[in-house]
Amino acid sequence: MGMTRAAVLQFFHEANAFSPLRVTRDEFLTRHHLSGQAVHDAFATTSNWMGGVLTALEQREIETEIGLCTAALPGGPLEADSWSRLRSEFLESLWSIVERGPISHLFVLLHGALAVDGISDPEGAVVAEMRQRLGARTRITTTLDFHANISPRLQAASDVIVSGKLYPHTDTRERGALAVRFGLAGGELKTWHFNLGISVPMPNQATTEGPFARLAELSDTFAARNGVEDVNIIGGFPFSTEAYAGTSLLVTGTEKQAAHEVYERVLDAVENERDDLLRPVSSPRASITRLRERLGNGRLILVDVGDNPGGGGLGDRTELLAELEALGRPYAFGALVRPDLVKAAQAVGTGGTVDIQSGREKLSCTVASLAVIRYRNTGDMMRGEEVFGGDGAVLSTRAGSILVSSLRIQAYDTQAFESMNITLDDCDIIAIKSIAHFRSSYADLATGGIILTDSGGWSSHRRRIEWEQGAEGR
């Protein structure tokens, strides 16, 4: 192929197609919208995809140029006008690199669950445009999140696809390095994609325990076959209206027949686990009953999967607060995404009072502190990456501390609380709006166990079921 010269670009947004929230370009500018050396300075040492890719390229002394790398916090679909502008910026950054000299390798870091108003398969379309312009002379490696939905167009435009394998996503740096190894390999190495005919609820996609952990362990045994280098069963993102959405399989290797044999084995394994994969999460009432029964046996982690900002939930539901307050045990709750509440707290100042409506109850809260939420993850997931939650407040009740943010952050790292001086060791209960990410940082604190609950928010699997039932009726 001649001289080895690589380009790296990133466009990262997980979009819940059912959410009423629309995301704009401004949210990408708020999180990060960088290119060149600024990307290297921000991410090369972090435990995320970019850190893995850039470090692996440096270790191989590959000449590398970094185009636009941008991301927004998870939310609803991206507005069409914003996508049009961002897409143009994204592609133009690549064309500028190509104008300075041909590239032999392109690494495109995507999420795989982007949704844009009125546009189907935006990520597949943009990679296909790259392929059309670059031709077969450039080897395209695409990296995807564990929750990616992979379209036929995206697979056809990519030589190799590497996705995350673990949920929580504690393997992204390692998988980024693997993407570089596969991308720089010979042309015989490629990736095949297979849909598994099931949409597994996100809480059941966790690879720390349960049915998906067993599937992940099984997939490792298949990677030792001749002609197969990597086997990955990925959860997919249920909150999508795309026909190709769902749990699926990626097989990277040199032998198509071997990939198909793996697919048949995985299909059988998925069928054996089907009941556990599709089991529902308990309602708040049932979960609170379980929590009461376990009080006094160690610190409990209560997790609201239905209002998780990391899955497109708005993060603003407060129903659980009244239940927690009634227990009378010290608790921490967060992050409650309520910019209006932060402004109200700022208006009365530290020591003032604000009210939170929780079901039929009104909680009177004291403003304990006001500060900008900004911290770096210290847990195993995305270690070293900075999280910015905008203006924040800590509100105190008779029993608990409530972390309130202006931006849609997910408090999956304990630093979300500790950076705002909420001491988790003092809590009997820690309530988090998350699904599985929290397990990478809170597991050691859960001495009394973990209880999941589904509040019915926008990241509830009920939304997917309701949509499917509506589609059948249309």
Average pLDDT along the chain, 474 residues, taken 10 residues at a time: 86 97 97 97 95 97 97 97 98 98 97 98 98 96 98 98 97 98 92 97 96 95 87 97 97 95 96 97 95 96 97 96 96 98 98 96 97 96 95 98 98 98 97 97 96 96 86 60
- Order of strands, edge to edge, in the sheet holding 331-337? 353-358, 361-376, 386-396, 400-405, 331-337, 429-432, 300-304, 449-453
Indicate if 142 and 177 belong to the same structural domain: yes
Return the pLDDT at 285: 93
Domain-located, residue 471: no
Pairing of strands 228-234, 247-253: antiparallel
Q: How many domains does the chain fold into?
A: 2
Indicate if 262 and 307 belong to the same structural domain: no
Last residue of a domain, which of 228, 259, 277? 277
Domain-located, residue 469: no
Distances (CA, A) of 306 to 16, 309, 331, 360, 389: 12, 9, 20, 20, 20
- Taking phi first (over 0 means left), then psi (-120 to 50 degrees means alpha), and beta for anything else, what does residue 158 get? beta
Indicate if 263 and 341 belong to the same structural domain: no
Q: Collapsing DSSP states into helix, strand and coil, what is residue 139?
A: strand
Radius of gyration of the chain (CA): 22
Domain-located, residue 468: no
Domain-located, residue 152: yes
Domain-located, residue 474: no
What whole-number distance in Å separates Cα of residue 165 and Cα of residue 180? 16
Indicate if 351 and 449 belong to the same structural domain: yes
Last residue of a domain, which of 277, 296, 323? 277
Query: Can you spell out the DSSP letters for 28-66?
Result: HHHHEEE-THHHHHHHTTSSSHHHHHHHHHHHTT-EEEE
Return the pLDDT at 1: 45
Indicate if 360 and 418 belong to the same structural domain: yes
What whole-number distance in Å separates Cα of residue 118 and Cα of residue 420? 40
Q: Collapsing DSSP states into helix, strand and coil, what is residue 141?
A: strand
What whole-number distance in Å separates Cα of residue 226 and Cα of residue 249? 18
Distances (CA, A) of 290 to 321, 374, 436: 16, 34, 19
**Quick check: 307 and 458 in contact, CB under 8 A?**
yes
| Burial group, residue 287, by CB count within 10 angstroms (0-12, 13-18, 19+) | buried
Return the pLDDT at 187: 82
Indicate if 237 and 288 belong to the same structural domain: no
Indicate if 424 and 353 belong to the same structural domain: yes
Counting Cα atoms < 13 Å in the Cβ hemisphere of 240 gives 30
What whole-number distance in Å separates Cα of residue 94 and Cα of residue 237? 28
Return the pLDDT at 472: 63
Domain-located, residue 366: yes
Indicate if 126 and 256 belong to the same structural domain: yes
Q: Collapsing DSSP states into helix, strand and coil, what is residue 443?
A: helix
Domain-located, residue 376: yes
**Quick check: 468 and 370 in contact, CB under 8 A?**
no
Q: Collapsing DSSP states into helix, strand and coil, what is residue 307?
A: coil
Token digits of residue 279: 């089991």
Last residue of a domain, which of 249, 277, 305? 277
Q: How many CB atoms lie within 10 A of CB 468?
A: 13
Indicate if 116 and 222 belong to the same structural domain: yes
Indicate if 99 and 241 belong to the same structural domain: yes
Indicate if 261 and 295 belong to the same structural domain: no
What whole-number distance in Å separates Cα of residue 172 and Cα of residue 145? 8
Query: Can you spell out the DSSP letters for 313-347?
Result: --S---HHHHHHHHHTS-EEEEEEE-HHHHHHHHH
Buried b / exposed e along 47-61 (16+ C-beta atoms within 10 A): bbbbbbbbbbbeeee
Domain-located, residue 421: yes
Please tell me the chain's helix, strand, coil percentages from 3-state DSSP, rounded to the nearest 5: 35, 25, 35
Indicate if 158 and 236 belong to the same structural domain: yes
Within 349-427, residue ranges assigned H as helices are 415-418
Helix (H) and strand (E) counts for the chain? 16, 17
**Quick check: 73 and 309 in contact, CB under 8 A?**
yes
Parent domain of 215: 5-277
**Quick check: 104 and 44 in contact, CB under 8 A?**
no
